[in-house]
A = this chain, B = another copy of it.
Amino acid sequence: MKKLRGIIPPMITPLKGDDELDREGAIRLVEHMLKGGVHALFVLGTTGEAQSLSYGVRYEFVELVLKQVAGRVPVLVGVSDTSLKESVKLAEHAKQHGAEGVVATPPYYFGSSQQELIEYYTALADALPLPLYLYNMPSHVKVFIEAKTAVALADHPNIVGLKDSSANMNYFETLIHLLGDREDFSLYVGPEELTGECVLMGADGGVNGGANMFPELYVEMFEAADKCDIKRVRELQHRIMQISTSIYTVGKYGSSYLKGVKCALSLLGICDDYLSYPYRKFREEERAKIAEALKALGAI
């Protein structure tokens, strides 16, 4: 398998209501991102609200996206679960519809020691029908996949990469140092604010939520950083930070980022902004602030 490099947007899941997909919106969003040049897609991640959806909707969404993409770019499917068996079942569904790989956080109800993480991921990778990317997401999962654990797991033939959403760059630099030269293991950074510098320092790409809205911006950042064009990286970083400090900071919610992205996509005419529990979409006042932010960015 060739290493996947570039921007892999963690796709939001367009919803119309409780546990009901906005199918037309989802199709528009896929086309919007592909037109923007993204290198792959990642569905059912944190940005995709996967855990808040029923399994029925998760399965339906995987099928819908894979059918729409139809092989134009690789699609990764999030199978993070507290039950190993449910992860494997969803991965089988994903494979059947053409996914290229799956992504999984550690189990997020029971905490795990690092030794337990090794045992868990080994058992999972053994059972999965598709290559597995580790997903470090300590703020939601409580557990950190330590660098030594990642190095141990990287030797499993079916574990092919790691996405880090910790924003802890000591950790990510350690991963780059220990694993960055391997041809069979990829390193992606979650927070889009860090894609520029991470790729400059040797990462393989970014799983950046902002690419739902502005796919071409993050693609250009990846390319500038990949060519070590620092001047361009700094210019693009300025715009990325404008998005980050306006669209993602409305209200005092832990979920301001998610609400902001969905609200912006709705204002851009791409899809509905319904959010599943425990979250609710922005009200009018907050929506007006997102509209203002989009105007300031020249996006509407």
Contact = CB atoms under 8 A, between A and B. Distances in A.
A169 B140 contact: no
A156 interface: no
A242 B67 CA distance: 46
A277 B201 contact: no
B113 A253 contact: yes
A244 interface: yes
Contacts of A176: 241
Interface stretch (A32-40, A92-100, A117-125, A291-299): A117-125
Given A112-B278, A178-B245, A278-B120, A169 B197 contact: yes
Contacts of A89: 54
A193 interface: yes
A49 B169 CA distance: 24
B173 A119 contact: no
A59 to B, nearest CB: 13
A11 interface: no
A85 B176 CA distance: 40
Contacts of A200: 197, 200, 230, 233
Contacts of A141: 109
A258 B149 CA distance: 24
13 contacts: A18-B84, A19-B83, A54-B85, A83-B276, A109-B141, A111-B254, A113-B253, A167-B169, A174-B193, A174-B241, A177-B241, A177-B244, A177-B245
